[in-house]
Amino acid sequence: MKKDNGFTLLELVIAIFLFGVGLSIVLPSFVSAKDHAALETSAWQIVSDLRTQQMLAQTKQVYQEIRFLPYSETYYFYDGSNGHFTPRSISSPIFYFEGIVHLPSSTVRFNPLGNVNEGGQIIIQDPEGAIRNAVLYLQYGDIRMSSSPVVNQG
């Protein structure tokens, strides 16, 4: 009587093949969900950072800035009371839409009343083309996330 202690080579090849097919179906959805989460997190982080600088300007009664660097994942907080820059980054693989910040100036400056020097949008994009934007309204310093959800380009 022969005792069966394992799998045949054919059974292993079929199991590996089926595992690979299943992985190839699930992996793109997982990567897409991860990128979407990074996009949402980065957008809300930018809005939160803008509001933080606005609040600090009002509290400290001194100018506060955020300086965005085009074609970079880094932006800087500038504290007007001590002259220090603090770096922040958006989540990789998120980047600015078309590589630039869509503001008249790449520096958002809050005066001691919390008003901004310029208005515009900070648009970020994921590798699949989904975009999200934070909107700055001139004068009053109103900061909002766009009301529309993530949109895929083209």
What integer pLDDT is reported at residue 154 of this predicted model? 45
What integer pLDDT is reported at residue 80 of this predicted model? 87
Residue 141 has pLDDT above 80, yes or no: no
Note whether residue 3 is domain-resident. no
My answer on whether omega of the bond before 104 falls inside 30° of 0, hence cis, is no
What integer pLDDT is reported at residue 147 of this predicted model? 52
Residue with structure tokens 């202690």?
A: 5
Residue 73 DSSP one-character state: S
Note whether residue 29 is domain-resident. yes
Note whether residue 136 is domain-resident. yes
Q: How many domains does the chain have?
A: 1
Residue with structure tokens 């982080």?
A: 45
Note whether residue 1 is domain-resident. no
- Domain residues for the domain of 20 are 9-152
What integer pLDDT is reported at residue 108 of this predicted model? 87
- Residues 88-139 have pLDDT tens digits of 988 888 888 877 777 878 888 889 988 887 778 888 888 888 888 887 776 5
What integer pLDDT is reported at residue 78 of this predicted model? 92
- Residues 70-97 have pLDDT tens digits of 888 889 999 988 889 999 988 888 888 8
CATH number, residue 86? 3.55.40.10
Residue 12 has pLDDT above 80, yes or no: yes
Q: In the numeric block, which tokens belong to residue 152?
A: 């895929």
Is the full-model pTM beyond 0.85?
no
Residue 91 DSSP one-character state: P
CA distance linking residue 51 with residue 107, whole number of Å: 15
pLDDT band at 16 (very low <50, low <70, confident <90, very high): very high
Residues forming a β-bridge with 124: 96, 132
